[in-house]
A and B are shown apart, each in its own frame.
Chain A
């Protein structure tokens, strides 16, 4: 960080806040873009999506903690729904239900002691919680039939697969961010 005087060892609080908000806005924008991209992809198997936007949630959690991840994810769900025109529709509630369940699970996961979880573990947990939350919302609001849960194995197979792949993507993203930040010429992140 270039400074004009030698006697300012810390940046002002307002600048820290600005930096944090900028990071948040960037992450939310990336997440919305991935969400929209995914909505444009043809559904190969109905009901199953790769969940690419969760890469951003997991990366945000690893880089800045749970609160940032939560804000970015909820913003993403809201903004993407507005842009897709699905606000308050079943798709929106399913999306929100999945996101809230995933965030709750990530909250538990990030409280683990020791070396704890990395991006891959977080991503798999989030993916599994996501489909769990979605199934519960779908059952509570739309399809009150136990037959819905026959889908659970298909969906959890998808969750395990996409969760693992997205987790590896998030790992690469976090690693890249750290090396860029260490060289000092990349996006300046608050190192945690």
Chain B
């Protein structure tokens, strides 16, 4: 290890080390900015495919929405939204937890209730393949 470091020292000029440091930190910054979606601003509540409400994520509140099977309770706090109670049996919607990022969503399929976070700039893709 020390031999390798000595070799690195010998192989680089001060300008080289500057370039190395810049390239590696730049890479980390690039990854951090390119891969984190912006925080959402409001949440759209959709029941059976139709938008029923639009809530500001900055205002803390609890709301109840009526779906196919019964009433679902949503909670908005700290710039995020989550399901808190649902009439369905699997409770996947409750377990999917807080949704903060623009484009993020959670849904209760049996009750046909869905929440979707919207922001100023949403990401237009789910995944990239090539």
A residues neighboring B (CB under 8 Å): 46-47, 112, 114-121, 124-125, 128, 146-147, 149-153, 156-157, 159-160, 163-164, 167-168, 171
Contact = CB atoms under 8 A, between A and B. Distances in A.
B20 to A, nearest CB: 6
B3 interface: no
Contacts of A159: 23, 27
Given A114-B15, A160-B27, 15 more contacts: A117-B13, A117-B19, A118-B13, A118-B15, A119-B11, A120-B16, A121-B17, A125-B23, A128-B23, A150-B35, A152-B34, A156-B30, A156-B31, A157-B31, A163-B23
Given A146-B124, A147-B124, A160-B27, A115 B15 contact: yes
B58 to A, nearest CB: 28
B20 A46 contact: no
Contact of B27 (A47, A114, A119, A153): A153
B125 A147 contact: yes
Interface residues of B, number: 24
A120 B23 CA distance: 12
B11 A160 contact: no
B26 A171 contact: no
Interface of B: 7-8, 11-20, 23-24, 26-27, 30-31, 34-35, 124-125, 128, 130
A45 B113 CA distance: 40
Contact of A117 (B16, B23, B125): B16
B30 A116 contact: no
Contacts of B18: 121
Contacts of B7: 168
Interface of A is mostly: helix
Given A46-B130, A150-B34, A152-B34, A118 B23 contact: no
B19 A116 contact: no
Contacts of B31: 153, 156-157
B22 to A, nearest CB: 9
A121 B125 contact: no
B118 to A, nearest CB: 19
A31 B63 CA distance: 67
Contact of B19 (A114, A121, A150, A171): A121
B23 A115 contact: no
